[in-house]
Structure 1
C-alpha cells in the first residue's frame, strides 16, 4: 500500500515537472532566433481559402487570420481601418472613395483598387455561385 502511494506521488511529481518544463521558455534560443513561428489549429480541414466561395467557419477563420480587407474588427469588436487609410463619401451618399495603404501581395506585386474591383465582380458573377453575393446588393450594377 505504501509503495503504491509512493509510486503514485512520484508519477504525479514527474508529470508536473514535465508539464512545467513544457510551459517554460528557453531565452537564449528565442532571443538569438530572428524567425518566429505561429502554430495554429482549427476544428476542421479548411475547405477553401477562396473568399468568394467560402461559406463555413473554418474557411472564414483562416481567411480572417491571413487576409485583410478595407476594414477589420479591432479591440472590443470595434470596426477600424484595415487596408483603407481613409474614405470619402459623396454628398448624396452613393459614392465611396477609399485611399489604400501601401501593401503587397505575397509575390511582391502592389495591391491596387483594381484588385478589389476584380474580387467584388468575381463574387457577384453568377458563374462563381457565391453564397454571399447578396452582400453586394447595395452596390450599383452588382
Structure 2
C-alpha cells in the first residue's frame, strides 16, 4: 500500500489505484498524507479543503468526508493487509501508517540520508537517484488545480 503525492495523487493497494472520492475528500487525504505521523487540526483541514469559502457547517461536512475516507482505508487494508488508519485526535485527525509508504516522506528520508557526512559519493548518488526516481510528475497533480482561482 502506498500514497503517491509526487505526481498524480493516488492510494495504491495491491497494484491498484483506489478511488479516493470527490475533489474535497481527495484534498483531505492529501492534507493528512503530507502531515502523516502528526495530527492535523480540524481548522487547518477546513482551511485546506475550502480555503476562504467553507460550507455553512464545515465541521459536519468534514466528518462526512472522514467517515467516507475511513471506508476507503478499510478497502486498502483489506486488499493489502497493511496498517493504515485515520484516527481522531484532540482537535483534529491523524493518518496512521508507515510514513515510508508515502513517496514524499520516503523522498525526504532518502535525501536526508544522502546528506549524511559519512556517505561517500557513490552512496550519495545512489540515494539521490532513488529519491529522484520517486517523482512521476508535478506533486499532487490534479489536486492543485482546485486551488487556482477562476479567471475574471
TM class, shorter-length = under 0.3
Q: Which has the higher contact order (CA 8 A, sep 6+)?
A: 2
Greater helix content: 2
- The TM-score normalised by the length of structure 1 is 0.25
- The TM-score normalised by the length of structure 2 is 0.24
The structure number with the bigger radius of gyration is 1
